[in-house]
Structure 1
Amino acid sequence: MPRKKVILAASFGIVFAYCAVALLAPVIAPYDPHAITGAPLSPPDKDHLLGTNDLAQDVFSGLIWGTRATLLLGFIGAAIAVAIGTAAGIVSGYYGGLIDEAVMRLLDVAMTIPIFPLLLILTTFFRPGIYLIAVLMGLLGSFQGVRVIRSQVLSLAVADFVVGTRALGAGDGYIMARHILPGVLPLAGVKFVTSAQHFMLIGIGLGFLGITDPSVVDWGQMINRASQNGAMVLGLWWWLIPPGLAVTLISLALAWLGYACEDEINPRLRVMRI
């Protein structure tokens, strides 16, 4: 099997495994992540596979439930961002003219807005829940894929099959939904993967700073609490390393998946990367 196919299969398998853990968190986690289950700072044993933290909470259970929170932030945010960005790119590229100019100028302004600092301000003052944070991420990040979608639409809009369909009297809505949208879906899929990785890391960063919903366990909160209590200095590796490894693995898997998908839909990228 070619190396690219192996990377694609492995990265997809890792992401699928994370999704399965997130969905089955109530079944897999042996304890409630907020429950006191033993002595504080206990090392791993048969009752606590990854030991306990300073509040005597099971670290393994927190890690499992944190998977759900992290994936929700990434996938919901990415779905909203890609949906809005794809719609804007299709409309802009298809109609052109003043509409395209207006969208591009708005995009130029939006590109100057830093997402993380703005989210940091909003979450500090309003303390939104995990779903509202995901929605805010999606709205603020929706402009990032517009140019890529628009460039593809510009070529599709003048293709023979689109011109012929328009000549037969088909409306703009029908053409965009039936002929333009399928042509940009592969690009939108790649953008979904890369956006999910980006938003997951942003969510973990917000959790590390301690400004996410405290009732929802996430990896950022776990890493923050372990760091503040000197887990590494005290040799409490089971408290700090597992969430760090979990973050690293899902981030790498999504990055590999995005690169592999890009190579599949755009063979020219293979030559550029060699």
Structure 2
Amino acid sequence: MTTTQNPPSTPPRTATALVWARRRAAAARVWRQFATDRGGVAGLVVLGVIVLLAVLAPALTDQTGLDVTRAPGAPWQAPSGEFWLGTDHTGRSVLLLTWWGAQVSLLVGLAATLLSVGIGTVVGVCAAHFGGWVSSVLLRVTDFFLVLPSLVLALVLSTVLPQGLGTIILAIGVTSWPSTARLVRAQTLTVEARPYIERSRALGGGHGHVIGKHVLPAVLPLVFVNTTLTVASAIIAESTLSFLGLGDPTRVSWGSMLHSASLHGAVSKGAWWYLLPPGLGIVVVVLAFTLCGRALETVLNPRLAHSAGER
């Protein structure tokens, strides 16, 4: 008599495994919808190439070419087979400067955006969740920063504090968070008006549980979209401050290249090759981040996706 063995039963999935499975499924769904936007995919590809080149710059190029005392070419040399984008007023390769300048511009843009979005998210969530005098104080502080021109305040901070990348990041991040705070506050108020928040509080959920388990997971997609759009503004702000001579004098960025070109008369000398590469680099990166941000906004905002489908 033969006995049949039943296959081993599948162990029950824990709540954590179910949560992560749902998150992976949601991420896959977002990616499929994002891939249908040609502009967003093109922006993502361009960003990937630029970030890869910036990361590989130390391995693919010789950093000594950035030293003015070791400039390999003649000043103001036009583009040629040896120097594809010509040379600057010291004889350094403009291609090398542009390549290395991408590192600083991307680093400052991303770091300043993380600082700005972090401050704005904390302020917005706290103002909406706690209410009362906490909300009043935080909203008054937010209104104060909204009234002040962010570029002027960044200029003041960059002038008062020692010059360096940290100062630029701090100046941009501290002055550009109010819009994120108001956006996150509005989204948090919408989330906390839902019935499951009341059930969570009735079951004994404290502030940390409500914010960490319910509010932040619902707000983070909007914060992520706002981050991609804020990076573009941060890169423009860094380029503006560096163009005005308030950047890190020891590092090459696209803004500092434009400042140097203007300071040494590249326009009067007809050295267009010193002006176009950094300017085009700023335009391309800002456009790529904007395309990615708009595509994500359409995917994660059902109302925008519905209106786009109607068009």
Other-structure match for 1:269: 304
Gaps of 5+ in 1: none
Alpha-carbon contact 2:125-2:188 (below 8 Å) kept: yes
Equivalence map 1:23-62=2 (5 Å): 23-32=55-64, 33-34=66-67, 35-62=70-97
What are the superposed Cα offsets for residues 36-62 of structure 1, whole Å, 9 maximum, x if unpaired? 112112222333221211101111111
Other-structure match for 1:184: 219
The counterpart of 1:255, out of the listed 290, 303, 306, is 290
Shift of 1:99: 2.0
The one-letter code sitting in structure 2 at the alignment partner of 1:138 is: G
Shift of 1:227: 2.8
The counterpart of 1:135, out of the listed 170, 194, 197, is 170
Q: Secondary structure at the match of 1:24?
A: helix
Other-structure match for 2:17: none
Shift of 1:232: 3.7
Gaps of 5+ in 2: 1-32
- Alpha-carbon distance change, 44 to 113 in structure 1, aligned in 2, over 3 angstroms: same
Q: Distance in 2 between matches of 1:78 and 1:200?
A: 9
- Alpha-carbon distance change, 89 to 125 in structure 1, aligned in 2, over 3 angstroms: closer
Alpha-carbon contact 2:34-2:296 (below 8 Å) kept: no
1:156 correspondence with 2:195: no
1:194 correspondence with 2:229: yes
Equivalence map 1:81-230=2 (5 Å): 81-230=116-265
The one-letter code sitting in structure 2 at the alignment partner of 1:89 is: G
Shift of 1:237: 2.3
Moved over 4 A (4+): 1-4
Identity score, percent: 31
Alpha-carbon contact 1:88-1:146 (below 8 Å) kept: yes
The counterpart of 2:274, out of the listed 239, 242, 254, is 239
Shift of 1:233: 4.1
Alpha-carbon contact 1:70-1:200 (below 8 Å) kept: yes
Shift of 1:3: 9.4
What are the superposed Cα offsets for residues 41-90 of structure 1, whole Å, 9 maximum, x if unpaired? 22223332212111011111110111011011110010011111111111
Alpha-carbon contact 1:29-1:60 (below 8 Å) kept: no
Other-structure match for 1:19: 51
Question: TM-score normalised to the size of structure 2?
Answer: 0.82
Other-structure match for 2:9: none
- Alpha-carbon distance change, 104 to 126 in structure 1, aligned in 2, over 3 angstroms: closer
The one-letter code sitting in structure 2 at the alignment partner of 1:176 is: I
Other-structure match for 2:11: none
Q: Distance in 1 between matches of 2:35 and 2:189?
A: 33
Q: Secondary structure at the match of 2:265?
A: coil
Aligned length: 274
Q: Distance in 2 between matches of 1:4 and 1:70?
A: 29
Alpha-carbon contact 2:161-2:167 (below 8 Å) kept: no
The one-letter code sitting in structure 2 at the alignment partner of 1:186 is: P
